[in-house]
Amino acid sequence: MTPGTAGISPLPAVESAFTLSWPESDIALLTFDLPGKGANVLSRSVLAELKENLAALHERKGVAGLIIKSGKPGTFIAGADLREFVVQLHAPKDQVVALCTTGQSLFGMLSKTPFVTVAAIDGICVGGGAELACWCDRRIVSCHPKTEIGFPEVKLGLYPGWGGTVRAPRIAGLANALEMITSGEPIDSKAAVLMGLASDRVRPDDLLRAAVRMIRDEQRSGAYVRDRKRWSGPLATEPTELGFLGATVSAVIQQETKGNYPAPSAALELMLETCSLDAPAALAREATGMAELFGTPVNAALIHVFFLTDRNKRDTGLDRKDVTPAVIRSVGVVGAGIMGQGIAAANLKTEIHVAIADAAEDALTLGARGVLEEASFDRKLKGPDAQRALRLGPLLTVSHSEAEIVACDLVVEAIVENAEAKKGLYARLEPQLRPQAILASNTSTIPITKLAEGLARPEQFCGLHFFNPVRRMKLVEVIRGKVTSDETIAAAVAYAKRLGKLPIVINDCPGFLVNRLLFPYMNEALQLLGEGASMKEVDRASLAFGMPLGPIALYDLVGLDTALFAGRVMWEAHPDRVLLSPILPAMVKAGRLGQKTGNGFFSYQNKKKKAQPDPEADAIALSYVKNGTKFTLEQLTHRLFLPMLLEATRVLQEKIVRDVRDVDLGLIFGLGFPPFKGGLLFWADTLGAGKIVEMLKPLEGLGERFHAPPLLVEMAKTGQKFYGLEMKSV
C-alpha cells in the first residue's frame, strides 16, 4: 500500500533546523534557522540535530574551522525552549542533573574539535544561545543595535546550567561574568569586545568574511589551542580580591532582590566556589546546584510570568481572527503634563510622528522640552543624547492650535481627571477629526462609556490608560466602551505593542482593572491606620510580601488629592464595600498632598527627598484612631491582600477581562505585584480556594468587602483553581 492511501495521510517531512554549507573548501558553515519560528530556540530536537552535525564534522578530515550563525535577522539564539522546561519542573533532582550534564557535554563538543569553532553573532544571543557561543573558541559580533549577549536565567529563578557559569568567567573574567549572570542583564556588542567575551566587532554584512579570516588567523597562531587548555583549568584569583568581589556583588544582589529571589545569590556562591576548580569539577557543581533551584516555587512563578508576557505578545486583543488593525502613523497628545509628556516621548522614541498641545502656553513649552529630553535620554550618558535629539526633533510638533492634532491617526487626551472637562474637549475635537481617526482617553478611573456620551462616533473611542512613569511602566490598559468597535480595539492594541508596551483589553468599569484592584488594598491600609496600626507596620507588611512600595508610601507617590478623587469614584461605584476614611481628606485639607508638595503621610524635606516619619502626619492619623489594635504580620498581610484578591474574583465574575492571565499580567506590570509569586491569581492558586475561604472567616464581620464572592465559594467546593477556569482566548 502506498503512503497516503486508505485515508491515511503521509507523515510530514521533518524540516532541518540547521543547514551545512562550505563558504570555503575546508571551512564549514552551520546556519541555524528554525522552520516556522520567528526566533531560534534550543529544543530537544534542535540539540539532537546539532549533535549529529558536530559528530559528523568531527569525523570529517581536512576541516579547518566551523562557523555557527543564524539565518534569522536580528536573532542569533533566543535561549532554550521553555515549554520543554515546564514539563520537567517536577522532575527528580537526579534527572535535572542529567539534563544539565547532557547539555554541557553537547556544547563541550565545540571545544574539543580538531578545528577552530567560531560563533558569528548578529542579533540577540541569550540564555542557552550565549552558553553555546561561550563553548566556541571565538565569538565575533556584529555592530547592529540589536546585537547583545546575556544570561537572563536568574529572571526565571535559575542560573546558566549548560556551562555558562564555568566558561563565561574563564573567558571574560570573574567580575564581568558575575555581573552578567547575577543581574541577568544583557550587554551590547561594544561591551562584549571590551570585556573579552567577543574577539571582534564588525558590520553585519562582513560577519561571515570576518569569521573566515579569524579561523585562518587561529590556524596560523594556534592561540585557540592554548586558550582551550587555559579555560579548562581553575581561575587565578587572590583570596583578598575574591572576598571583596563577593561582598560587593552580594550587597548589590540584596539591594535588588530583597532576598526574594534566590537564584542570583546561588549563582554568586557557585561561581566563587568553582573558580578555584578545574572545568570538569566546576561543571559537575553547576549541574548539582541547578537541581536545587529547578522546580522551586519561585522558579515556577517566574516561568509562569514569562509565559504571561509571551502570550501577550501574540494576543491581538480580540477573540476574532478576521480583523486587521489599522496602522497608526501619527499621534496627537492633548495635555503637556507628566502623563502627556510620557506618552508623547514613548511615540517619539519609536519614531512615530507626534503632535502635542496644551491650553497653557508655559506648560506646552516646558512639556515639549521634556518630551524631547525623555525621548533622547541615554542611560550610559545619564542624560539626553544630542545626536538622537537632532534625529527625533523633526518628528515632534508643538501645537498652539488644534489643527495639527486633529490631522493625526490617533488622538490621546491626557488632561485633568474631570469628566466634564474631557467631554468639552471631545466635543470640540471630534468634528474636526479624520473619518477613520481614533480618539482615546488616558483616564485612570472614569468609565469610557460615560465619556463617550455625546460623541458622534463612539465606536472609534476607547481608553488608552498608560501608567506613570510611562518610560518604565510597560502596561497599557485598552478599555472597551459599550459600543467601541473591534477595529478600534485591534488598532489600539497593535499601536501599544509598537511602543514596546504590554496592552490588555478590559471591558469598561470604574477603575478598570489595575486601579479597581489597587483601591481595596489602598483603602484597607487606611482602615488599618484608623484601627491603630502604624504607618511603618502597614508598609512593612506590604514590603515583606514583596511589593516594591508600601501602600502608605504609595499614597504619597500618587498624590493624596488624586487618591481622594479616585476613592470617591470607587465609592460611588461600590458603596457596599468601599469605606471612606476621614484620614485622607484630613491630610488633603492640611495641604499634605504627598511627594509633590514635600509632605504627605511622610515628609520629604531632605536632600535626597526620601520618606521620613513626620509627627504632624502621625498626629492627624492618630486623631482618628478609636480603639488601638495590635496586629500580627500575618493579620496585616491578610487585611491588605485578601480584599484585592476578592475584587479580582468579582472582575472575573463580571467578565471585565477576557482571560484570567490578564489579571496577573496587569498587576505585575501595572502595580508591581511581586513576580516571584507569579501574580495575584497564581499566588491564590498556590493557597487554594478552600484555604482562602477559611482565611476570610475571621474577617467577615468587617463587612461586605471580606465576603467571598459566589465564584470563590463555588471554587472552594469543587477544588477549582483560577488557572483552571474556562479561558476565552489563547
Res 726: pLDDT: 65
pLDDT one-digit tens code per residue, 451-500:
999 999 999 999 999 998 999 999 999 999 999 999 999 999 999 999 99
Same fold, 330-505 and 515-655+658-724: no
Angle at 483 between CA 495 and CA 465, to 5 degrees: 40
Instruction: Give mean pLDDT, residues 385-409.
Output: 91
Cell numbers given for 644: 484585592
Res 8: pLDDT: 35
**All residues at 6 or more sequence positions from 479 whose CB lies less than 8 Å from its CB, including other chains:** 448, 462, 463, 464, 465, 505, 506, 507, 508, 512
**Contact at 8 Å (CB) between 409 and 328?**
yes
Res 7: pLDDT: 36
According to CATH, the topology of domain 515-655+658-724 is N-(1-d-carboxylethyl)-l-norvaline Dehydrogenase; domain 2 (1.10.1040)
pLDDT one-digit tens code per residue, 67-87:
999 999 999 999 999 998 888
Please tell me the distance from the alpha carbon of residue 428 to that of residue 41, in angstroms, as a whole number: 52
Q: DSSP character for 669?
A: H
Residue 729 has pLDDT above 80, yes or no: no
Cell numbers given for 562: 488624586
Domain segments of the chain as ranges: 18-295, 330-505, 515-655+658-724
Cell numbers given for 66: 566551523
Q: How confident is the model at residue 199 (pLDDT cuts 50, 70, 90)?
A: very high
**Residues 90, 400, 465, 574: which is the catalytic one?**
465
3-state secondary structure of 97: helix
pLDDT one-digit tens code per residue, 11-69:
334 589 999 999 999 999 999 999 988 999 999 999 999 999 999 999 999 999 999 99
Name the CATH superfamily, with its identifier, for domain 330-505.
NAD(P)-binding Rossmann-like Domain (3.40.50.720)
Cell numbers given for 605: 524635606
Res 137: pLDDT: 98
Residue 443 has pLDDT above 90, yes or no: yes
3-state secondary structure of 457: coil
Q: Which long-range contacts (CB under 8 A, 24 or more apart) does 524-528 make?
A: 524/551, 524/639, 524/640, 524/643, 524/705, 525/550, 525/551, 525/552, 525/555, 525/640, 526/581, 526/583, 526/584, 527/579, 527/581, 527/639, 528/631, 528/636, 528/639, 528/640
**All residues at 6 or more sequence positions from 38 whose CB lies less than 8 Å from its CB, including other chains:** 72, 75
Tell me which of 222-236, 595-609, 700-714 is least confident: 595-609
In CATH, 18-295 is 3.90.226.10: yes
Please tell me the distance from the alpha carbon of residue 311 to that of residue 327, in angstroms, as a whole number: 22
Instruction: Give mean pLDDT, residues 378-384.
Output: 81
Q: How confident is the model at residue 95 (pLDDT cuts 50, 70, 90)?
A: very high
Tell me which of 132-146, 364-378, 705-719 is least confident: 364-378
Res 2: pLDDT: 30
Q: What percent of the chain has pLDDT over 90?
A: 85
Sign for the pseudo-dihedral over CA of 275, 281, 286, 291:
negative
3-state secondary structure of 672: coil
Residue 283 has pLDDT above 60, yes or no: yes
Res 212: pLDDT: 98
Helix (H) or strand (E) holding 367: helix 361-375
Mean pLDDT of the chain: 93
Res 589: pLDDT: 95
pLDDT one-digit tens code per residue, 534-566:
999 999 999 999 999 999 999 999 899 989 988
**All residues at 6 or more sequence positions from 727 whose CB lies less than 8 Å from its CB, including other chains:** 659, 660, 661
Helix (H) or strand (E) holding 479: strand 475-480
Q: How confident is the model at residue 383 (pLDDT cuts 50, 70, 90)?
A: confident
Chain center to CA of 563: 26
Res 10: pLDDT: 37
pTM of the model: 0.92
Please tell me the distance from the alpha carbon of residue 4 to that of residue 58, in angstroms, as a whole number: 39
Q: How confident is the model at residue 445 (pLDDT cuts 50, 70, 90)?
A: confident
pLDDT one-digit tens code per residue, 262-274:
999 999 999 999 9
- Put residue 172 in one of left, alpha, beta given phi > 0 → left and psi -120 to 50 → alpha: alpha
Please tell me the distance from the alpha carbon of residue 478 to that of residue 489, in angstroms, as a whole number: 7
Q: How confident is the model at residue 323 (pLDDT cuts 50, 70, 90)?
A: very high
Q: Is 465 a catalytic residue?
A: yes
